Amino acid sequence: MSLTRRRLLVGSTGLLVAGALSQWLPAFARAPLASAITVPANFVSLSQTLTGMDRPDALLAQRLYSWLHQRIDGLDNQLIGLSDLLNRQPALQGDALLAAMADQPAAVQELYQTLVSGWYLGVVNRQKPECVAFENIVSYRVVQTSLLPPSYAPGEANFWTQPPGKESIAHG
């Protein structure tokens, strides 16, 4: 196949257009991914306190912190304040903890509710709920040895068409 003027012209034009687009398109690139934001140690420590887990899910921590970081000015100072409050009174749980939170500024109360909701339900923002996680939320990890998340099939495709084995474990 020989190189004709037409092929040379089409090829050169294609390269020229590709070069121009490669300079112009980055201006329309998306914002950095959530993974570009580093989760600080105090957020992980606070999450451990709130969830009671030694190692909360790293991906959920990343998503939750990224969501908070984009929406709350002075987030790191609020995290420190909430951590200090919980560390000063480590025995507070349940209703006593909620009563103590009621005495806090609205920003601290909202941060607490958002963190608990994000970790346990995977949903943040009460006014316009957003899902940040599903299968790796704390409430599913607590019962993972006996239950599967809703909508997850406990077997391979069409498993229900076969008779059950000797031992049948409900939902997993």
Task: Give the pTM.
Answer: 0.67
Contact indicator for 11, 4 with CB cutoff of 8 Å: no
Task: Spell out the per-residue pLDDT of the chain, length 172, in tens.
Answer: 677 888 878 888 877 777 777 776 666 655 555 556 789 999 999 999 999 899 999 999 999 999 999 999 999 999 999 999 888 888 888 888 888 888 889 999 999 999 999 999 999 998 999 999 887 889 888 887 777 666 666 666 677 777 776 665 555 5
User: For residue 142, what is the enclosing H or E element?
Assistant: helix 138-142
Q: Strand locations in 17-105, DSSP E?
A: none
The span from the CA of 162 to the CA of 29, in Å, is: 50
- Give first-to-last CA distance, the chain, whole Å: 62
Residue 47 pLDDT: 94
Residue 78 pLDDT: 93
Identity (one letter) of the amino acid at 11?
A: G
Residue 29 pLDDT: 57
Residue 166 pLDDT: 64
Residue 154 pLDDT: 64
CA angle 57, 144, 115 (to 5 degrees): 40
Can you tell me whether residue 85 is helix, strand or coil? helix
Residue 27 pLDDT: 61
